[in-house]
Structure 1
């Protein structure tokens, strides 16, 4: 029975919160005026504020709830550069003319995103439990393996990935499982503790002089005739020369232009109880990060203390209670690691990621001048940090060097899409599950 998988001390909350819990300890009352007002206190918003303050520019950050209650303390903590752009650089529906140059630029910016987060961790002395031990991308079918093999040269030449293919007979060098049909081992990748990273980044932004305002919701905004904005919040109006929106998977009706360009999708994660001594390192040697090529993807890694498995994926494409999502993830986990049958779950949780219709991250300006950074397609730890830094640098100096390929005016939407995909996501999920089943059966 599904109930048998839950530990007696089970919590419907992120395991990460056992180390750092969302808090309002650094919250301040918002001022009536600032240089830059940032909506959203996730990685992107805090990175923007930190970089602005390093340049002497006033920054106020609004958080609708508690600091860290959103995706920044709920994700898997995986970090990579370039190779995680996935469908955004596949070129399957791209115009061949000029696409190779565009792909080169995108991969270069992906590389820079990982450099950016490593630089910030080192510069600020952040306690992020960061390790760079690589990532294994498991191929769900032989055709997926061939597709990965066709990308290795580009990843190595353009993304400095240090990638190599591991055929099925060598797969156990990377993972203690026979579930996949081989896969790609990427050297330039790692993982961190997302909540500890967030808490350290929050403290760094506060120390730098950013005004951080929890429980402060942005309700509406208008442009001032002479330039700048007035933003109405739950704690009063704020005047700002610039407004930056960094709400990603939690973007709401206040910015309908952005909401229509984002598809929020729920990602679900479980944490196992502490595993017997010696078992964790046989599951994932060298504590690498792992993901796979399924349409209904999974991603997993060992906890920073090396005692449990953190296992995530699309148990549902929408929000669902642990009683629904956890048994699905537990089954996915034991499909890959039969040796974990009988292991209990101590934590289960969910959070929103945001996808763009072109599968690429985006930063830029709305038609009415708001700056934004978002749509990291489930890979936002490094990317949101990077886009925040890049947005701040544009505000400080007007340009980025090297050029940021995600800073464009092309942020697509779809006709009749209003920003609420809830009616379609169950259908998409069912179709993806069927395609995965068929691909495996036909392989």
Structure 2
């Protein structure tokens, strides 16, 4: 296909998800002069925190520089992995065996947590327990996935097993991979509908939400905070930062500890039912095992392919990122060579230098940040936990609370090192592929 013919006549350089649930800020109104808690960041983290605080009788105000839910919370792929990425990692050397085990078990519990939250609040977001298929990029990757599959089954309490190469077409209509790992404890949802429903639930509980309200300064005087914004100031007892990959200069200590990484997605035009059944026979959400991974799925109505990946380190023209993703998708599914793109977009995800999400306080300021691109359930959980930490009570402290939060010298929140890292990871993936 020529470059221009890749794109449908009604192509849009914005998220496909916004067709059903475009983020919109509530009427601006006047900021309150005082609030018990101010939450900075109107995505999953901040809204989950605000919902729990408001349900417990705390006055809470949520501020976001953009519309509520505008950034990663309505731009991601809608894969709900429930801590599986952490379950696949070996953190015992970093944290000790006991803390690492607690952390992994808590991460796995984020899937039932978000499922219960959606049910309790009646959020219509196309949530479905689909299971997840991780496509092995090489025989080495297959063996690494196989070494952890029994542990995942034990942690999740749900089936998890390996699918050898000769059976992988039961899960994906492609011969590109070398088999893979099937985990039943995973789900998919419509991310923009979910963040909209979470915002509505927080408002019903009494939280006040203000989009288009950038925080410019945070100042602590004695035991109280002054939150200065472009629209005025609010005095409060507690501040919670849930800005994740959009953490800015108002919180420089946190900005130095999260790395914003661009993630790109496309949506195809509607496809015939027979074709989508061939591509994803069992309707799983999927990802591959590369360090520079791709993640993909069918849209909730089963009519389109949504394909995401890291084809650059910063935002670019959506047609160019769409071209790169289309080429990547067609290497896996050559049968999509002539399928056009209707939407192409990007959003940032937040990585940390130890690849672990962090929850805690710094100089009295609460924070919950850094889910390495797997934040739908985890950030919802960490926001809830941040609220519980502020409220106090008998609940057991989260295993994510108070971990050392590392950075590196000379890093100020602008990730100058990402192009080199991306090239190195691609090279390692290529070497693994050549070996089998």
C-alpha offsets along residues 52-94 of structure 1, whole Å, 9 cap, x if unaligned? 111001000001111221110000011122312267x334xx5
Secondary structure class of the residue paired with 2:274: coil
Root-mean-square deviation (Å) = 1.5
1:118 aligns with 2:107: no
Q: Are the structure 2 counterparts of residues 359 and 347 from structure 1 closer, same or farther at C-alpha, using a change threshold of 3 Å? A: same
TM-score computed with the length of structure 1 as normaliser: 0.95
Deviation at 1:440, TM superposition (A): 1.1
- What does residue 40 of structure 1 align with? 41
- What does residue 263 of structure 1 align with? 259
Deviation at 1:431, TM superposition (A): 1.9
Deviation at 1:5, TM superposition (A): 1.0
Which aligned pairs between 1:128-139 and structure 2 lie closer than 5 A? 128-139=125-136
**d(CA) in 1 for partners of 2:121, 2:15:** 25
**d(CA) in 1 for partners of 2:253, 2:144:** 35
- What does residue 357 of structure 1 align with? 353
Secondary structure class of the residue paired with 2:273: coil
- What does residue 388 of structure 2 align with? 393
Q: Which runs of 5+ in 2 are unaligned?
A: none
1:301 aligns with 2:301: no
- What does residue 414 of structure 1 align with? 408
- What does residue 56 of structure 1 align with? 57
Secondary structure class of the residue paired with 1:346: strand
State which of 316, 327, 332 in structure 2 corresponds to 1:331.
Answer: 327
C-alpha offsets along residues 396-424 of structure 1, whole Å, 9 cap, x if unaligned? 125643x4211124111112221110x22
State which of 368, 372, 375 in structure 2 corresponds to 1:380.
Answer: 375
State which of 165, 186, 189 in structure 2 corresponds to 1:192.
Answer: 189
- Is this contact kept in 1: 2:26–2:211, CA < 8 A? no
Deviation at 1:161, TM superposition (A): 4.7
Structure 1 range deviating more: 390-399 or 124-133: 390-399
- What does residue 83 of structure 1 align with? 84
State which of 146, 150, 157 in structure 1 corresponds to 2:147.
Answer: 150
**d(CA) in 2 for partners of 1:408, 1:175:** 41
Deviation at 1:158, TM superposition (A): 2.5
Deviation at 1:26, TM superposition (A): 5.2
**d(CA) in 2 for partners of 1:26, 1:399:** 38
State which of 399, 405, 412 in structure 2 corresponds to 1:405.
Answer: 399
- What does residue 15 of structure 1 align with? 16
**d(CA) in 1 for partners of 2:44, 2:31:** 20
**d(CA) in 1 for partners of 2:147, 2:252:** 39
**d(CA) in 2 for partners of 1:429, 1:140:** 17
C-alpha offsets along residues 206-226 of structure 1, whole Å, 9 cap, x if unaligned? 11110101111110011112x
**d(CA) in 2 for partners of 1:166, 1:100:** 30
C-alpha offsets along residues 333-364 of structure 1, whole Å, 9 cap, x if unaligned? 11111111100000000000000111111110
- What does residue 425 of structure 1 align with? 418
- Is this contact kept in 2: 1:61–1:212, CA < 8 A? yes
Moved over 4 A (4+): none
- What does residue 172 of structure 1 align with? 169
- Is this contact kept in 2: 1:390–1:400, CA < 8 A? no
Q: Are the structure 2 counterparts of residues 26 and 193 from structure 1 closer, same or farther at C-alpha, using a change threshold of 3 Å? A: farther
**d(CA) in 2 for partners of 1:86, 1:160:** 13
TM-score computed with the length of structure 2 as normaliser: 0.97
State which of 266, 283, 289 in structure 1 corresponds to 2:285.
Answer: 289
- What does residue 220 of structure 1 align with? 217
Q: Which runs of 5+ in 1 are unaligned?
A: none
C-alpha offsets along residues 113-161 of structure 1, whole Å, 9 cap, x if unaligned? 1122111100000011000010000110111111111111221223335
State which of 87, 92, 95 in structure 1 corresponds to 2:93.
Answer: 95
**d(CA) in 1 for partners of 2:11, 2:18:** 13
**d(CA) in 2 for partners of 1:162, 1:28:** 50
Number of residue-to-residue matches in the alignment: 435
**d(CA) in 2 for partners of 1:28, 1:327:** 42
